[in-house]
Amino acid sequence: MPTPAIRVTSSAAKRASSLLRALQAHPPSCPCHSNPSHHYQSPSLLKSPRRSFATPLDHTKQKEYAFEMAASSIRFGPGCTKEVGMDFKNMGANRVCLVTDSNVSKLDAMKHVVESLSREGVGFTVFDKVRVEPKDSSIREAIDFAKPYQPDAFLAVGGGSVIDTAKLMNLYTTFPDAEFLDFVNAPLGKGLPITKPLKPLVAVPTTAGTGSETTGTAIFDLVSKKAKTGIAHRNLKPTLGICDPLNTRTMPSAVHASSGLDVLCHSLESWTAIPYHERTPRPQNPMNRPAYQGANPISDIFSLKALRSTVEFLPRAVKDPEDFEAQSEMLLAATLAGVGFGNAGVHLCHAMSYPISGQNPGYKHKGYVIDSPIIPHGVSVAVTSPAVFRFTGASNPERHLAAAEVFGKDVSNAKKESAGEILSEVLAEFLVNLGDQPRGLKALGFGSEHIDDLVEGTLPQKRVLMLAPNLSLEENEEREQLRGLFEEAMNY
């Protein structure tokens, strides 16, 4: 049986062989330099006579050669929420759609926003029915509210659910005739590009986790498919993110923990994603270059800094509600991680989390004031992380060991073949010490009878699976690998 293809960085010998074969049919027109010791290697190109006839190319197999950086403008500082009215006045906006949820609507953050808008004479209306962990039905309800109002700008005050909902309200009021699935990520939707700028959107996060104030991604449950999906495009990103540490002081300990675990996995997954130049296919038009591109030198800086801050400050923020320094640092870490993963992407923890939360057998996480069962997003991504990073370790041992070192592990004498196991162990220890975290999928109510559905709910997440190291490109083999990961994630 032939060995299945997997997403790993090619060895120098394999790259050389592939290039020599390619050069016989499609020689390059110019040389470029490469540094073989660097993580982001570009293949060396050999001089060759110009060919006389064009050779057809299979564009689906061409690897990427460039990466782009896109992020919202960010304002960070205690009390800066009060400036938001001036921001909209400066834009010339006077029909602002203010988006929030029923809990945040009662908090000081919302009070300060309303006062600021009113003080500057900016007209607005309020939609406060955002659902925590949105479903496609709640997104449609929000869109139906916004369309008749015809806002000239949007303001989101709340956590990732609120900000993501506001992004989609903005999208579908700008494209009022679009079908709902037109922009939804393929294969669940059509995955059409967003071809024109949207209206201004200012995001005021009240949680420290999603980093949605920096990204062009919006996530929701597509109930008919029993899976989370979403829409990802640079044009979705907010115009401005106002990150005010005073707004996260009302977060309960459980929300601090689950939000922080999202930051943890954002940073780890973007740090360990396949390098951008290994991603296929290369877009034929830069407009079609995905937001999630693979690890790259700029995202690395943000992701690693976010990981270090999370390891240091998340336990403090969870254990002491009066530790305002830790809370502020976690808000900053969430924003940094948002810039990192918003351009590099995430992979297996997030891909597997979508069916975990979408197929919740009835689990209700402690500390969440909500009537219906809920697996918070951060919990759903972190619960598989020990299994995931044990699996991905062989793809890039140096990066996995560097991550383990951030947790305080001495890796000076560690063997490369043990990198995945080492990172898995320090992650499990971190989660246990954080407290009140389910120690595997069984603690969420899942059993072996659920694995088939979890796997089938993961397979459509191509946008992130394409960035997963060590994952097979052959679907049946990929399915078996995912089955093994869910089995391992039952307990840690």
| List of domains in the chain | 73-248 (3.40.50.1970), 253-488 (1.20.1090.10)
Q: Please determine, for residue 423, whether its predicted confidence score (pLDDT) is greater than 90.
A: yes
Whether 228 contacts 353, CB under 8 Å: yes
Instruction: Give the range among 25-34, 143-152, 334-343 with minimum mean pLDDT.
Output: 25-34
Position 24 scores a pLDDT of 46
Please tell me the distance from the alpha carbon of residue 245 to that of residue 249, in angstroms, as a whole number: 7
| Mean pLDDT across 220-248 | 92
- Average pLDDT of 232-238? 95
The amino acid occupying position 123 is G
Number of neighbouring beta carbons within 10 Å of residue 1: 4
How much is the average pLDDT of 109-130?
A: 98
Q: What would the pLDDT profile of 147-205 be if each residue is shown by its tens digit?
A: 999 999 999 999 999 999 999 999 999 999 999 999 999 999 999 999 999 999 999 99
Is the whole-model pTM more than 0.75?
yes
High-pLDDT (> 70) share of the chain, %: 88
pLDDT at residue 57, rounded to an integer = 67
Strand boundaries in 43-158, DSSP class E: 73-76, 96-99, 124-127, 153-158
Average pLDDT, the chain: 90
Predicted local confidence at residue 247, as pLDDT: 97
Stretch 227-235: mean pLDDT: 90
pLDDT beyond 80 at 3: no
Comparing 31 with 395, the larger pLDDT belongs to: 395
User: Which residues are within 8 A (CB) of 135 and not within 5 positions of it... i.e. 6 or more apart?
Assistant: 220, 221, 223
